[in-house]
A and B are shown apart, each in its own frame.
Chain A
Amino acid sequence: MSDGSLRYRPLNLGRWVIWGATLLLFLVLPLIFKGGFSRTLMAQMGILIIFALSYNMLLGQSGMLSFGHAVYSGLGAYFAIHALNMIGAGQLVFPVSLLPLVGGVFGMVFGVLFGYPTTQKSGTPFAMITLGIGELVFACSLMFPGFFGGEGGISANRTVGGNFLGIKGFNFGPDIQVYYLIAFWCFLSMIAMFAWTHTPLGRIANAVRDNPERVEFIGYNTQRVRWLVLILSSFFAGLAGGLSAINFEIVTAENVSAIRSGGVLLAAFIGGMLFFFGPIIGAVVFSFFAIALGDITKAWQLYLGAFFVLLVMYAPGGLSSLILMNLRVMSFGKMKRLRDPYLGVALSALTLLVGLVLVIELTYHLTLEAAGAATVKVFGFPFDAHSVETWTFVIALVLGGAAAFEYMRRRFKHEWDAIQVEMEDWIRENPERA
C-alpha cells in the first residue's frame, strides 16, 4: 500500500481490488459467523480498527507517542451518549446513524483544546504531557458525576431514534444492524485515513516523524503540523467513541482511562505502525485476545503481555512487517525452501505453547480455585492439577518443546538469513528493477 505514491498511475487497479475485497468482507462476515458472540467480536473489532488507525496517525505517521488517546475517543463517546439521550427525550432531532459524527466533532474540539499545549513539544515531553492530560480528564470524570455519570457511567437506549430511513424494524436494536452501522463508518474512516496519508499534510507529517528539525528549514512549522494531525486524529478517535456509545449503550470513566489508551497503543504496535494496514491487523488480533480469549481464560492479559513482549523483541515492525517480509521472500520465488523449516518451527512452537499454556492454566487453577475441583479442563481435556503424572507430562512437554523449538529456530534462521543475503545480492546486481 505504500508504493502508490512512487509511480504515477491514473487508475490503480490493485487498490480497487483491495478496497473492494475489504468491503465485500465487511458485508459477508456476519452472514458467515452468525453467532451472537462473533457478532459482538466483529463489532468491537470495527470500532477498534478506527481507533487504532487514528492512533497510528500520531505514532506511525507522525512520530508522536501518545499515552492518552482515549481522552478523545472517551469524550467523544460521552458527548454521543448524551446526544442519544437527548434524542430519546425529544430535545434533539438527529438520526442515530449519524451519531458517530457527534463523537467525532467533540473529539476534534478537545483535540483543538488539549492538542495545542500537547503538540508544543515532541518526543518524550510530548508523551509525558499526553499522560498528564489523560490523568487530568480521568480525574475530572470522577469529579463531575453530572456529565460523566460517576461510577455507573451514562447509559442510553440506542433504539430511541426510531426506524432508519423509515425501514420497518431497522432501529439499531438487533446486533446485526449495529454491526452494519459500525462496518459502514469503519470502511469510510479507513478510506479517509488512507487518503490522508497521500495529502501534503500527511506526507509532511512523515517528514516531521523522520527529522523534525529539517522540516523547519523547508518552510513548515512542526508544531502546527503536529497540532493539525492531532486534531484530525482525535476526530476519528471521537468517531470510534461515538460508535462504542451506540454499541454498548453505556459510557463509563473507563472509556477515558489510561487502560484504554494503553490498549490502543498495544493494538497499533502489535499490527505494526510502519504500514497503513498494520493497525487494522493489530485491532483484529487485540480484540481477539481481549474478547475471545478473555471468554475462555482469566489469564488472557498474561498471554497478551507475553505475546506483546515477544513481538517487540523479535518483530519490532509488528505483524504487518512479518507479513511483508514473507511476501518479499515469496515474490523472489524462494518460499519453497522455507516450507520445511517453517513446518518444524510451527510444530515445535506448538508443543512448547501447549506446555506453557498448561503450566499457566494449572497454576491459575491451583492458586485461585484451590478449594474447587481438582481437575481443570484445558483444550477440552481434563487435567488433575494435583497429580504428579500431570505435572511430569506438562514439564516434559515444555522441556521437549523448548529443545525442539531452539533447534528448529536455528535451522530456520540459517535458511532465512541465506535467503535474505541472496535477495540483497540480486538487488545490488539489478538496482533498476528493485
Chain B
Amino acid sequence: MSQDNRLALELMDLRKSFGKTEIIRGISLSIAQGERHALIGPNGAGKSTLFNLISGRFPPTSGAIHLLGADITGRQPFEINRMGLARSFQITNIFHRLSVFENLRCSVLWSLGYKYSFWRNLNKLHNARERAEEVLQRIGLKRRRNIAAGLLTYAEQRALEIGITIAGGASVILLDEPTAGMSRGETASAVALIRDITQGKTLVMVEHDMGVVFDLADTISVVVYGEIIASGPPPQIRANAKVKEAYLGTHAEAA
C-alpha cells in the first residue's frame, strides 16, 4: 500500500520525564506504512504515555518524532491530526451530548476543509453527511444514529470511539486498548471492525489481549519500564526469551 518509502512513524531516542521519574527511557522505533504494529507490555510500562507523546498530548522531554517524514516533535494535537495521524483513547472519549451521527460528522469536518466556517449550512454539506453515514455503517451503529452518544452501551461507545478516530481519513491510526473491558463476543467483532477499517492504513495499537495482538499485528514491540526490549514479527516475539521472562512468563495466562 505504501506508494512512497517514507516511514509512517519514526521515533528517535524518545524520552519523557514527569518530575524526576523518567517514564519513557530512550525509545527508538520505525513503523513502515501499511504495517499493523502492536505495543505490548505490563501495566505502567509507558505504552499509553508513548501514545500521548506521538499524538501530541504531551511534548517529549527529548528525542524526535517523525510522521510520514515530517518532524512533529512538540506539535499540538490538532496539528498532528491534520498531518495524518488520528488516535483513540483507552477511556472512552466521545461527545456525549451529541448524537452518534453528529459525533461522526464533527470528526470529518476538518478533513473535508470546512475549518471554522460559520456561514455554511451543515445540512447542505453533502460530502460530510455521506462520509459520516458511511462510517456509521462500517462501525455498525446505523440503528443508533440519532441517540445521544452518552446513552450508548459500553461496547457501542468503544465502536464510536474507533469511528471518530478513523472518520477524518487519517492514514496513521493509533488505537489505545480498543478491546479493553469487552466480552469475548464483543472482542471478536471489534477485531473484525479494526481489520476492516485499517485496510490500507498504518495501525499502531496498545493491547493487553494476546489473542487480539497475535491475530491482528504484523509486528509486535514489547515495552518494559519505558524501553523497547524486543521488536519483531509475532512468532519471533513468542520465542524471545527476554520477553518471556519480562512479560509473557508472568502475565501470559492472565492476559
Binding site for B on A (CB under 8 A): 3-6, 8, 195-196, 198-204, 206-207, 209-211, 213-221, 224-225, 228, 232, 431-432, 434
Closest chain B residue to A222 by CB distance? B78
- Distance in angstroms between the alpha carbons of A5 and B145 in the assembled complex: 12
Closest chain B residue to A432 by CB distance? B143
Whether B106 lies near A232 (C-beta < 8 A) is no
Q: Which of A195, A201, A232, A434 contacts B117 (CB 8 A)?
A: A201
- Distance in angstroms between the alpha carbons of A300 and B115 in the assembled complex: 46
- Distance in angstroms between the alpha carbons of A218 and B170 in the assembled complex: 10
Q: Which of B86, B96, B121 contacts A211 (CB 8 A)?
A: B96
Whether A200 lies near B102 (C-beta < 8 A) is no
- Distance in angstroms between the alpha carbons of A203 and B120 in the assembled complex: 11
- Distance in angstroms between the alpha carbons of A210 and B100 in the assembled complex: 13
- Distance in angstroms between the alpha carbons of A209 and B96 in the assembled complex: 10
Can you name 28 A-B residue pairings with CB atoms under 8 Å? Answer: A6-B146, A196-B118, A198-B121, A199-B118, A200-B118, A200-B120, A200-B122, A201-B116, A201-B117, A202-B118, A203-B102, A203-B105, A203-B122, A204-B106, A206-B98, A207-B106, A216-B56, A216-B76, A217-B81, A218-B81, A218-B109, A218-B167, A218-B168, A219-B110, A228-B116, A228-B118, A431-B143, A434-B147
Whether A219 lies near B82 (C-beta < 8 A) is yes
Whether A216 lies near B77 (C-beta < 8 A) is yes
Q: Which of B82, B95, B114, B120 contacts A207 (CB 8 A)?
A: B95
Question: B119 to chain A: which residues have CB within 8 Å?
Answer: 199
4 closest Cβ pairs, A-B complex = A219-B110, A216-B77, A201-B118, A210-B95
Whether A216 lies near B78 (C-beta < 8 A) is yes
Question: B93 to chain A: which residues have CB within 8 Å?
Answer: 211, 213-214
Q: Closest CB-CB distance, B173 to chain A, in whole Å?
A: 12
Question: B77 to chain A: which residues have CB within 8 Å?
Answer: 216-217
- Distance in angstroms between the alpha carbons of A225 and B105 in the assembled complex: 17
B125 CB-CB contact with A under 8 Å: yes
- Distance in angstroms between the alpha carbons of A47 and B126 in the assembled complex: 36
B208 CB-CB contact with A under 8 Å: no
Binding site for A on B (CB under 8 A): 55-56, 76-78, 81-82, 86-87, 89, 93-99, 101-102, 105-107, 109-111, 114-123, 125, 129, 143, 145-147, 164, 167-168
- Whether A5 touches B116, Cβ cut-off 8 Å, given contacts A207-B95, A211-B95, A217-B77, is no
Q: Closest CB-CB distance, A225 to chain B, in whole Å?
A: 7
Q: Closest CB-CB distance, B96 to chain A, in whole Å?
A: 6
- Distance in angstroms between the alpha carbons of A83 and B226 in the assembled complex: 65
- Whether A206 touches B97, Cβ cut-off 8 Å, given contacts A200-B109, A216-B76, is yes
- Distance in angstroms between the alpha carbons of A219 and B86 in the assembled complex: 9
- Whether A220 touches B110, Cβ cut-off 8 Å, given contacts A199-B117, A213-B93, is yes
- Tell me which of A209, A213, A215, A224 has the highest count of chain B C-beta atoms within 10 A of its own C-beta: A215
Q: A211-B93, A218-B110 are in contact. List 16 more A-B contacts (CB 8 A).
A: A5-B102, A5-B123, A6-B146, A198-B123, A199-B119, A201-B117, A203-B109, A204-B106, A204-B116, A211-B95, A214-B89, A214-B93, A214-B95, A217-B55, A217-B78, A228-B118
Q: Closest CB-CB distance, B188 to chain A, in whole Å?
A: 23
Q: Binding site of B, secondary structure by majority: helix, strand, loop or mixed?
A: loop
- Whether A232 touches B107, Cβ cut-off 8 Å, given contacts A5-B102, A214-B93, is no
Closest chain A residue to B129 by CB distance? A8
- Distance in angstroms between the alpha carbons of A209 and B150 in the assembled complex: 14
- Tell me which of A6, A209, A210, A432 has the highest count of chain B C-beta atoms within 10 A of its own C-beta: A210
- Distance in angstroms between the alpha carbons of A209 and B95 in the assembled complex: 9
Question: B168 to chain A: which residues have CB within 8 Å?
Answer: 218-219
- Distance in angstroms between the alpha carbons of A211 and B164 in the assembled complex: 13
Question: A210 to chain B: which residues have CB within 8 Å?
Answer: 95-98
Whether B96 lies near A4 (C-beta < 8 A) is no
- Distance in angstroms between the alpha carbons of A200 and B106 in the assembled complex: 8
- Distance in angstroms between the alpha carbons of A211 and B102 in the assembled complex: 13
Whether A204 lies near B109 (C-beta < 8 A) is yes
Closest chain B residue to A224 by CB distance? B116
Whether A214 lies near B164 (C-beta < 8 A) is yes
Question: A213 to chain B: which residues have CB within 8 Å?
Answer: 93
- Tell me which of A8, A199, A200, A228 has the highest count of chain B C-beta atoms within 10 A of its own C-beta: A200
Question: A8 to chain B: which residues have CB within 8 Å?
Answer: 123, 129
- Distance in angstroms between the alpha carbons of A434 and B146 in the assembled complex: 9
Q: Closest CB-CB distance, A348 to chain B, in whole Å?
A: 35
Closest chain A residue to B88 by CB distance? A217
- Distance in angstroms between the alpha carbons of A6 and B147 in the assembled complex: 10
- Distance in angstroms between the alpha carbons of A218 and B81 in the assembled complex: 6
- Distance in angstroms between the alpha carbons of A219 and B84 in the assembled complex: 10
Question: A216 to chain B: which residues have CB within 8 Å?
Answer: 56, 76-78, 81
Question: A218 to chain B: which residues have CB within 8 Å?
Answer: 78, 81, 86, 106-107, 109-110, 164, 167-168
Closest chain B residue to A208 by CB distance? B95
Question: A198 to chain B: which residues have CB within 8 Å?
Answer: 121-123
Question: A195 to chain B: which residues have CB within 8 Å?
Answer: 121
- Distance in angstroms between the alpha carbons of A434 and B143 in the assembled complex: 11
- Whether A207 touches B98, Cβ cut-off 8 Å, given contacts A216-B77, A219-B110, is yes
Whether B101 lies near A6 (C-beta < 8 A) is yes
- Whether A219 touches B122, Cβ cut-off 8 Å, given contacts A203-B105, A203-B106, is no
Question: A220 to chain B: which residues have CB within 8 Å?
Answer: 78, 110, 116
- Distance in angstroms between the alpha carbons of A206 and B117 in the assembled complex: 14
- Distance in angstroms between the alpha carbons of A198 and B95 in the assembled complex: 17
Q: Closest CB-CB distance, B49 to chain A, in whole Å?
A: 16
Question: A431 to chain B: which residues have CB within 8 Å?
Answer: 143
Question: B114 to chain A: which residues have CB within 8 Å?
Answer: 200
- Distance in angstroms between the alpha carbons of A401 and B25 in the assembled complex: 71
Q: Closest CB-CB distance, A108 to chain B, in whole Å?
A: 13
Question: B115 to chain A: which residues have CB within 8 Å?
Answer: 200
- Distance in angstroms between the alpha carbons of A217 and B145 in the assembled complex: 22
Closest chain B residue to A2 by CB distance? B99
Q: Closest CB-CB distance, A76 to chain B, in whole Å?
A: 19
- Distance in angstroms between the alpha carbons of A228 and B118 in the assembled complex: 9
Q: Closest CB-CB distance, B171 to chain A, in whole Å?
A: 14
Q: Closest CB-CB distance, A197 to chain B, in whole Å?
A: 9
- Distance in angstroms between the alpha carbons of A202 and B101 in the assembled complex: 15
